[in-house]
Amino acid sequence: HRDVYTQFHDSFGSHYTVKRSVDEEHDEVEVYSSEQAVINWVIQNSGRAEIIRPNLLRKKLSERAAALLKQYK
């Protein structure tokens, strides 16, 4: 799973911090970027990424996902 850090760097430069290892396959990472950039990145990496907080950003991602589902249904 460490190859994801290359993707982090490509997308966010040095504007992220690894907070802790959750388990062998998951880390908690804090990203310093615009909400839209984070949402777009998570959608691109949806099988490997999740927004944990803030809750407002999770809500915005949920709304975006619902809109995408509606558009392509």
For residue range 17-69, list pLDDT tens digits in order: 999 999 988 899 999 999 999 999 999 988 889 999 999 999 999 999 999 99
DSSP SS3 for 69? helix
pLDDT at position 2 is 65
pLDDT at position 46 is 84
Cα distance between residue 16 and residue 42, in whole Å: 14
pLDDT at position 6 is 87
pLDDT at position 1 is 59
Confidence band for 8, pLDDT divided at 50, 70 and 90: confident
